[in-house]
Amino acid sequence: MRQTYEIEIDGGSPPFFEPDAGPILEGPQPQFGPTVTQPTPPPPLSGGTLLALKDGKTAVAADPDRDHVYVIDVIKQALIADVALEKGDEPGRLIEDGAGRIQVALRSGGALVTIDPAGWTVSARRVICPAPRGVAYQAAGDLVHVACAGGELVSLPAAGGAATRTLRLERDLRDVVVDGVQLLVSRFRSAELLVVSPAGLVTEQLVPPDFSAPEVQLGGAFTASTAWRTLPAPGGGAIMVHQRGTVSGVEPQPGGYGSFFGGCDGIVHAAVTVLQPGVAPVVTPAISGLVLPIDLALSPDGTQVAVLSAGNAHTAGLSTLTIAPLVELTATQPDCYQNGQLGQAIGEPIALAFDSIGRVLVQSREPATLQILGAETFTLIALSTESRADTGHAVFHSNAGGNIACASCHNEGGEDGRVWLFDDIGPRRTQSVRGGILGTEPFHWDGDEANLGQLVNDVFVGRMSGPPLASDQLAALSHYVDTLPDLPQSAPLDAAAVDRGRALFEDAVNVGCVSCHAGAKFTNQATVSVGTGGAFQVPALHGVAWRAPFLHDGCAQTLTDRFGSCGGGDQHGLTSHLSAAQIADLVAYLESI
């Protein structure tokens, strides 16, 4: 087991510690405490909700669990304002514009709110898109840019007013970075960075390079996915904290997903990569023990990086905070990085930032606090007394024991877009758990998991090395997972095509989609062969447009490809007689459900 120690300092005991360099042969397991279930569960973790302002004394924290925005004086160490938003807004990313206003993207509220620093009140609320995600300020033109999960990139005046430009890019947009005259926009699952010219054209697509390490401790070859957080990089471009997943064989057996040799040998690990237009990115090291690296921050001088490991919150002795030199985390060394300063934040940390004098600020969702971690001081500031503790949320986001969490692959309740190569089974694409999965049993593509309890025992307890769940903990997890909402769909580009596609989809005689994909969740729950290489569980189709690549082995990169050579032909719906225009209509409908 890894040995740690705490350093006692003034004002409390901030848990900075140093790890033993020896291998971990058995990972510590999370402790969830008394079981609690919220009637309205907390949203999945997303990071990026904490901002240190340019004045050097103020921090602003968005609270997606309670729909508030808090303003904190970090010099006086006091909460100075509490801005209530509408219920269900889920405030997320936030930025400070040139006039000191705070612009906050409402992930579920579909809007951008502007908070006036004169009285810390909401001065404007502008509808943007169904699912705003990233936000950035561009001084040239005094513009705010908002990236939306549906693919919209919206530019609007910081001072107020209607959007001046709306682009429709690819789905799954995440963060926006202003890089000179161009914008850099990340995509969540694929970890791509789109370079958008002033004319609104995507001129380049950057991706962190593949990682390969033959050593046993690192487990073979990996490719990038899940860009949790992207920020402007010192010297231009963007710095991204992301996951990487193995493309080597995965063993579906107890311990098969886990990481024990220093936290880098599992099927998923974390990395930090700098991406610059026109420059080939370098391969960066895996970072030991970072489970759910949902946020990162740069020190004021740009030399240090802090990365948050939200998945370690419920496991004593594991770090939730890693601080390391930027040059070390982004150097060309395909290795397992185990240096840096480690720490354990109090509660369930969800975001972090550096203040103007280099202290680390950490926001916790439960309890709602801001922690100020200095070299010799530690301060805890309460932000709200309302509890949002939820055992299902905790289990879903926790390092099970093998340095992997449910949310490592089912990020934000969805899926990572990866196709995993399972030994003795074959390729299987990660399935989404959004939109309610209870009632769609059995689970997994092969229909080999009869119910959620069996799946938890086989996967969470077995493959992920987690603790057995008591019946009340399993019930809490079931409630949480089954209430994860689908992502809202953006308005279709061609509503008439959607209507024509619906008619084709519902034509039971000539097309036959509804023979399997029926009901509210578009599945009959059967395990059948449709000419795609075996008998597989009929997937629910609500929200299917978010789940590329498609089919059990990911052979269809687009929904249109699903009707091509790997889609099973007329064994998988009678579609060979449809024209290209009719297939396009059918795809338009599928993208709308």
* pLDDT tens per residue across span 209-262: 999 876 545 568 999 999 999 999 999 999 999 999 999 999 999 999 988 766
Backbone angles phi, psi at 304, to 5 degrees: -120, 145
Strand partners, 194: 185, 205
Average pLDDT over residues 440-451: 96
Residue 132 contacts residue 152 (beta carbons within 8 Å): no
Lowest model confidence (mean pLDDT) among 19-33, 153-167, 267-281, 287-301 = 19-33
Residue 10: pLDDT band (50, 70, 90) is very low
Amino acid at 46: S
Interior angle at CA 399, CA 394 and CA 405, nearest 5: 80
| pLDDT for residue 339 | 87
* pLDDT tens per residue across span 540-564: 999 999 999 999 999 999 999 999 9
* pLDDT tens per residue across span 390-438: 999 999 999 999 999 999 999 999 999 999 999 999 999 999 999 999 9
Average pLDDT over residues 359-369: 97
Count CB atoms within 10 A of the CB of residue 82: 14
| pLDDT for residue 213 | 75
* pLDDT tens per residue across span 320-334: 999 999 999 998 877
Three-class SS state of 587: helix
* pLDDT tens per residue across span 67-89: 999 999 999 999 999 999 999 99
| pLDDT for residue 262 | 64
| pLDDT for residue 16 | 52
* Token reading at 453: 């309890």
Mean pLDDT (the chain) is 93
Q: Say if residue 30's pLDDT is above 90.
A: yes
| pLDDT for residue 26 | 55
Dump the DSSP string for 265-304. SSSEEEEEEEEBTTBPPPP--EETT--S--EEEE-TTS-E
| pLDDT for residue 13 | 43
Distant-in-sequence, close-in-space partners of 281: CB < 8 Å, separation ≥ 6: 206, 207, 208, 209, 273, 274, 275
Average pLDDT over residues 28-36: 95
- Spell out a b/e string for 145-160, using b for 16 or more CB atoms within 10 Å of the CB, else e: bbbbbbbbbbbbebee
* Token reading at 130: 């169904």
CA 440 to each of CA 179, 229, 435: distance values in angstroms, whole numbers, following the listed order: 45, 33, 11
| pLDDT for residue 377 | 81
| pLDDT for residue 4 | 25
Domains present along the chain, CATH in parentheses: 40-386 (2.130.10.10), 495-590 (1.10.760.10)
Average pLDDT over residues 189-208: 98
* Token reading at 566: 């790997």
